Amino acid sequence: MIFMNLLSRYVSRTFLLSFLTTFSCLFIIIFLFDFAELQRRAGTKEIDLLMKLNMVLLRSPQFLEQVLPFIVLIAALFVFWRMNRSNELVVIRSSGVSLWRIILPVSMVALIIGFVDLAVFNPLSSAMQVRFEKLEKRYLLRNKEDIKLSPTGLWFSEKRGPHQVIYRASKVNLEKMEFQDLNIIITSEKNKFIERLDAKTGQIHEGHLDLNDGWDLNVGQVAKPFVEKSISTSLNRKKIEQMQNSRLVSSFWKLPAYIALLDAAGLQSLKYQMSWQSMLANSFWLGFMVLLAAAFSCRPVRQGKSALFIFLGLFSGLFLYFFKDMTFAIGASGGLPPIIAAWLPPLITVMVGAVIVFSQEDG
């Protein structure tokens, strides 16, 4: 029992050190590449160097979250390969210890990392991404088109000539491009009020927004009722959907409430349901990646071709990583139920890893 406790602590500590090293190396690589990309986007814009560094730091956690399963795979591959090459695995297994007793502590550490990511790192990353997008909008983006969903309704805006137009609707039907309880505020370049339009319903048709049963209030004038009124707009279904997706809420804890708001507003929430299921599945996927790493790196050294199998392990991880993106796209488009599309890559990972490890154990 004492030996097993020592062994568990040893392999867990070794894996955690390997994970932190890999995490730090990838953070530096992501930071440098993202800083170069930001420099390119900034061009001749006068942005302070400290502000650029701040923007890159704010966005880095989101990239790190995306590659977290691959970081775990690389760290676990290195740990098992080193133990195998130094004959530590041979000594441990010759004492009657199963390979599963070596894999289990590492998988548990990876699972804990996944749960910490879900509970702590993900909300922090989401908040930092929101801050980055505000700075990006201020320093890099020229247009001011945006969309926001809140309990008060759907808010979106567009640039129309020299004026900024802000829309608020309690509900939207994107199929018919109809809006209910529509409020429109038009402001000047200097953010001064020009006109407000309120209508019970509105519908976009061929570059025009047709309003019904409302009021028209111009600055310095008395509000006037109207039965029908038409104003020009550049909004269409594709543009609204693109604005919606450009500000994807990424916090695991806020997504359920946001999905409910989307459903209430009449907007498509399938992509957000897929995101929530994918985040939950990713936490368990980290533990399953350890099993995949062990399958390709615990093969006896005397059989040769260790480097080839390490490469195959990396290739398998990359394949599953891109397979996850493919299933995400299928689930977000409605081709598969979100729960199946999100959990399919982790299930394939654990099945492949388990089959190979069992074959090695049975020998």
* Alpha-carbon gap, residue 363 to 350, rounded angstroms: 20
Report the candidate in 289, 250, 344 with the shortest Cα–Cα distance to residue 80: 289
Q: What is the pLDDT of residue 246?
A: 45
Q: What is the pLDDT of residue 359?
A: 82
Tell whether 123 is covered by a domain: yes
Task: Write a three-state SS string for 164-176.
Answer: EEEEEECEEECCC
> Do residues 124 and 226 both lie within one domain?
no
pLDDT > 90 fraction of the chain, expressed in percent and rounded: 40
Tell whether 286 is covered by a domain: yes
Residue 352 or 251, more confident: 352
Q: Per mean pLDDT, which range of 116-120, 283-287, 335-339, 357-361 is the poorest?
A: 357-361
> Do residues 11 and 101 both lie within one domain?
yes
> Do residues 29 and 90 both lie within one domain?
yes
- Could you count the other beta carbons within 10 Å of the beta carbon of residue 187? 16
Tell whether 259 is covered by a domain: no
Tell whether 176 is covered by a domain: yes
Q: How many domains does the chain divide into?
A: 2
* Alpha-carbon gap, residue 266 to 149, rounded angstroms: 11
Q: What is the mean pLDDT of residues 226-232?
A: 91
> Do residues 327 and 276 both lie within one domain?
yes
- Is residue 247 pLDDT above 50, yes or no? no
> Do residues 136 and 281 both lie within one domain?
yes
CA–CA–CA angle 249, 199, 210 (5° rounding): 90
Tell whether 252 is covered by a domain: no
> Do residues 101 and 159 both lie within one domain?
no
Are the beta carbons of 346 and 285 closer than 8 angstroms? yes
Tell whether 250 is covered by a domain: no
> Do residues 16 and 77 both lie within one domain?
yes
pLDDT > 70 fraction of the chain, expressed in percent and rounded: 91
Whether the pTM exceeds 0.85: the reply is no
- Is residue 275 pLDDT above 80, yes or no? yes
Tell whether 263 is covered by a domain: no
* Alpha-carbon gap, residue 243 to 234, rounded angstroms: 13
Return the beta strands (E) in 191-293 as ranges.
193-205, 208-218, 224-232
**pLDDT tens readout for residues 139-163:** 877 555 566 777 777 888 888 878 8
Residue 98 or 288, more confident: 288
**Side-chain-side CA neighbours of residue 327 (13 Å):** 21
> Do residues 108 and 154 both lie within one domain?
no
The pLDDT confidence band at residue 4, using thresholds 50, 70 and 90, is low
**pLDDT tens readout for residues 309-347:** 888 889 998 899 889 989 998 998 888 899 999 999 999
The pLDDT confidence band at residue 192, using thresholds 50, 70 and 90, is confident
> Do residues 292 and 165 both lie within one domain?
no
- Is residue 208 pLDDT above 50, yes or no? yes
> Do residues 120 and 25 both lie within one domain?
yes
Task: Please say which residue of 245, 260, 290 terminates a domain.
Answer: 245
Q: What is the pLDDT of residue 21?
A: 95
> Do residues 114 and 161 both lie within one domain?
no
Q: What is the mean pLDDT of residues 281-288?
A: 93
> Do residues 324 and 345 both lie within one domain?
yes
Full residue range of the structural domain in which residue 68 is found: 2-140+268-362
Report the candidate in 281, 290, 280 with the shortest Cα–Cα distance to residue 107: 290
